[in-house]
Amino acid sequence: MRKFFRLFLLIFIFQVTSSPSYSSIDVSKGFSKLAEKLMPSVVNISATTIVETRSQEFPFQFPPGSPFEEFFKEFQQNQGPQKRKSTALGSGFVIKENGTVITNNHVIQNAEGIFVKFTDGKEYEAKLIGTDPVSDVAVLKIQSDKKFPAVKFANSDNAKVGDWVLAIGNPFGLGGTVTQGIVSAINRDINMGRYDNFIQTDASINQGNSGGPLFNMDGEVLGINTAIFSNSGGSVGIGFAIPSNFAKNVIDQLVKFGETKRGWLGVRIQTVTKEIADSLALKETIGALITDVNKDSPADKAGLKPGDIIIEFNGNKVKTMRDLPRLVGEAPVGKAASLKIWRNKTEVSKTVVLGRLEDTAEFKNKIPAKSNEQTLKSLGIDVRDIKEEDKKNRSKLEKQTGVIIQKIDPNGAMALLSVRPGDAIVSLQNNSIKNVKDFEKQLNKQIKSGKKTLLLTIIDLQNTTRYIGVKIK
């Protein structure tokens, strides 16, 4: 199954160059000078969270019926869930001398402690300034009065396919790692959200590179490394970075407000096909076709109607349908925006005062309640009911109900947890599981309640009981 996964996916605006000189570095002599200059501004990030788990079964085996067996079984049962620290590793970079650091939201999500470490070995505690799960951007502030080496953002609109780039970060905890590549593609939609507009690169990016910078040859941050496409979890030369121009807008708001304030138009849209363009006498296959207008929305008040095609927003051409949400989202809330629409074979100009997306039901419900199938996908497993033949082969299943793991997604949440097809799941959060339907129901309930980490009781193929904590993706 094809899958994109996250790597383990701000008021201050920097001066950007209008036309980067990508020839300023002689690549035939390598990238050592550029890397040496940039590495002091890149940090390793460790984020500590508290998870609940159960102690493993006692390692010694006792004869059946032995009093020691009963003693230790009772001992384990009385222990209950144990809390332990879990540390996520990622990357980040300094954008301001006062210690303002940028990383991915998923690196520091739900963290109780955040620390940044520089290439010289010095480590500092960092405070979360603001985070935006939608764009996967987070802003931190190092808790120190020292001045830190900072980097600037590039103008990502100037990026071209084939441009040289450097990725610097903390893959697999190996800090200060530099990889080189090119811009493989721009404006990539990888189905991660409404604002997908990623820069694709073949520079080697792995788990731990999340939140790290993708530099151009002028030593400016072209993007924030966020995701890879891989069947194994390792780099296959297809990585994705959030473009700097999009990130800067988010960063600006997070620093100023501690949250994002995205523009909202209030329309439903679809792709303009060649057939639709021809039927409406539109010379180019461009724009976003309005299929519905929310009542009393900014679009409704501006007189927009179903059938209109938005071809330009605030002077920016809407080349495809997916351009519009990004352009609207970046526009100031409460300010007038200019539109050009195609209506009745004629170009018409409109002005609309944008609302705030975060105030709408559309935004609040942007992540729908997961179906039963989706909840299982969040764990990355396929399961079936425990059968009588399973009970015959494993004594611990004789009086148990639950599910048997049939398939494990190599990119899923349980892929790295030492579970195998054939293992049985008999409880969730210490609640017994009856069958697949019950498992799905319980799982859905836990996810709706906001649980990020779940405790599962496993009886494996060796007839051993284990407890695992799994982080939901």
136 catalytically annotated? yes
**Both tokens assigned to 470:** 């799994």
Quote the CA–CA distance of 432 and 300 in Å, as a whole number: 51
Strand partners, 115: 46, 125
Phi, psi of 118 (to 5 degrees): -90, 170
Task: Kindly name the residue from 46, 91, 106, 132 that is annotated as catalytic.
Answer: 106
Quote the CA–CA distance of 277 and 113 in Å, as a whole number: 53
Nearest CA-CA partner of 133 in 195, 188, 199: 195
210 catalytically annotated? yes
Widest pairwise Cα distance in the chain: 88
Q: Which residues, including other chains, have CB under 8 Å from residue 39's CB and lie 6 or more apart?
A: 119, 168, 176, 178
Task: Kindly name the residue from 46, 135, 210, 427 that is annotated as catalytic.
Answer: 210
Identity of the amino acid at 443: L
Strand partners, 289: 270, 309
**Both tokens assigned to 69:** 């067996």
DSSP state of 455: E
The answer to whether 41 and 117 are in contact (CB under 8 A) is no
Strand partners, 165: 181
**Which residue in the block uniquely carries the two structure tokens 């996964």?**
5
Task: Kindly name the residue from 46, 135, 136, 390 that is annotated as catalytic.
Answer: 136
106 catalytically annotated? yes
The answer to whether 242 and 135 are in contact (CB under 8 A) is yes
For 148, the enclosing helix (H) or strand (E) is: none
Quote the CA–CA distance of 153 and 244 in Å, as a whole number: 6
The answer to whether 202 and 225 are in contact (CB under 8 A) is no
Give the catalytic positions in this structure. Answer: 106, 136, 210
